[in-house]
Amino acid sequence: MTTSQAATRTAGLRDRAEAVIPGGVSSNVRLLAPRVFFERGAGPRLWDVEGNDYVDYLLGQGPAFLGHAHPQVTEAVARAVRSGMVYGAQHALEVEAAERFIAAVRWPDLVRFGVSGTESVQGALRLARAATGRRRLLRFAGHYHGWIDNVLMDFGAEGGRPGTLGQPADALADWLVAPFNDTDALAEVFSAHGEEIAAVIVEPMMCNQGAIVAEPDFLEALRALTTAHGTVLIFDEVITGFRLALGGAAEHYGVTPDLAVYGKALAGGWPVSALAGREELMGRFGTGEVNHSGTFNASVMAAAAVVATLEVLTEDPPYERVAEHGTRLRAGLAGLGDKHQVPLRIQGLPAAFHVSFGGPRSVGGSAPVRDLSGLRELDLVRYAEFSRLLAEHGVWVAGRGIWYVSAAHGDAELSDALERVDAALTADTGTA
């Protein structure tokens, strides 16, 4: 295929996509991403229809934590597909998936599988309201918990506006919003409203905007305040689950929630979410008091993918490898920032970190941003543009700055990625 034939192939697919899919994409998150059409993924790399390879640090927005097409997961799903797919009834693999899940995460008593993080969040909020008999909910500015009317939020100047046209403003009426990592503000919200709040939901590491770890004591304070006020504490572990540790953020921070929601890394790329928690709460699904349903919940493929993924994660835990790769990658990126004299900022954890450019008002250097207001001081627009340049140079990352490291990334990817970032920075700055 010549270069021009290859480019024509992408352009042709783009035209066809735009003719039949709104915006040419199936999730609005992708509207701003480079319009690349991929053909194949294997381990830590992707290949587009023009034959270009990319070192992938987006991992499908997180799920490909084992790398793309991990053989054990792929074979397990293929076997499952051949055995009938969806029974609308119980099966042995579903039990094994749940047993392995509980054994891996350790603190929950019970788990229900679903398909998307968004819907499992709904289950968590419903359970919390059912258990407490309260309506109000508390969350943190900049955190994301799905695209449904009652949770999608735009954190504009006042915080807490609907995130899209078509979303009724009163759908968000029950929410209180507090800044992340601010224990005093949290205590104030609880002293004013503690007895009305059914649940607090938190990304224990704020990853949808930035990669902001919870500061020491913040999650402990949250745990203590929710316990004192009879409020259900929900960890949204859709990103952190099985990534920061086998037991997710709860294990990483040593703080145990009442309920938690998982997705992404849980099933090696297959669409599976989970809602897990204490028996006293989760048991209400079992008595039928609280509804949680879904045609595809714990399908044969989903259960097979969870079993295979958890087998890999427990038998060959990748966490040290991932941390080592992430640490070296971060150091390499920082070195390139220095070389090209650009204010590259990196923060988060080795498995999931955020790269941005310092803005005119931002604290320069290494002082980490601790909440949404700090993130707004950064030049996120320049980074988003730079991420498009990275794609042109064969590094696939999210425009919003998060980089995910998988268990499959090795030395070859590290050196390829750094070489390519170097070339992209040269193109960006005109430095050599």
List of residues contacting ligand PMP (CB under 6 A): 61, 116-118, 121, 144-146, 203, 208, 236, 238-239, 263, 273
Least distance (Å) between residue 264 CB and ligand PMP: 7
Q: Considering beta carbons, is residue 139 or 340 the nearer one to ligand PMP?
A: 139
In whole angstroms, the minimum distance from the beta carbon of 77 to ligand PMP comes to 18
Closer by beta carbon to ligand PMP, 203 or else 413: 203
DSSP assignment string, 190-218 = HHHHGGGEEEEEE-SEE-SSS-EEPPTTH
Strands 38-42 and 344-349: unpaired
CB 395 within 8 A of CB 421: yes
Nearest to 302 by CA among 310, 313, 293: 310
Instruction: Give the nearest distance from C-beta 338 to ligand PMP in angstroms.
Output: 31
Residue closest to ligand PMP when measured from CB atoms? 117
123 φ/ψ angles, rounded to the nearest 5 degrees = -60, -40
- d(Cα 132, Cα 62) in Å, to the nearest integer? 33
Compute the distance between CA of residue 242 and CA of residue 266 in angstroms, rounded to an integer. Answer: 6
**Mode of pairing for the β-strands spanning 273-277 and 38-42:** unpaired
CB of 305 to ligand PMP, least distance (A): 14
Rounded to the nearest 10 degrees, the angle between the axes of helix 183-193 and helix 218-228 is 10
State in angstroms the smallest separation of the CB of 248 from ligand PMP. 11
CB of 146 to ligand PMP, least distance (A): 4
66: number of CA atoms within 13 Å, CB side? 27
In angstroms, the first-to-last Cα distance of the chain is 31
Of residues 273 and 309, the one with the C-beta less far from ligand PMP: 273
Residue closer to ligand PMP (CB basis): 243 or 393: 243
- The DSSP string of 145-174 is --SSTTT-EE--SSS-EESSTT--GGGGTT
Residue pair 122/146 in contact by the 8 Å Cβ criterion: yes
Q: Which residues have a catalytic role annotated?
A: 144, 236, 264
Q: Which is nearer to ligand PMP, 349 or 421 (CB)?
A: 349
Q: Which is nearer to ligand PMP, 162 or 343 (CB)?
A: 162
Q: Judge residue 272's burial from the number of C-beta atoms within 10 Å of its C-beta, 0-12 exposed, 13-18 middle, 19 or more buried.
A: buried
CA 432 to CA 426: how far, in whole Å? 6
Determine contact, residues 153/121, Cβ cutoff 8 Å.
no
Nearer to ligand PMP, 353 or 357 (CB): 353
**Integer Cα distance of 33 and 51 in angstroms:** 19
Nearer to ligand PMP, 247 or 263 (CB): 263
Backbone phi, psi, residue 423, to 5°: -65, -40
Which of left, alpha, beta for 206 (phi over 0: left; psi -120 to 50: alpha)? Answer: beta
- Minimum separation from the CB atom of position 89 to ligand PMP (A): 25
| Eight-class DSSP state of 367 | P
Q: How far is the CB of 2 from ligand PMP (least distance, A)?
A: 38
The Cα–Cα gap between 223 and 219 comes to 6
Quote the longest CA-to-CA distance of the chain. Answer: 67
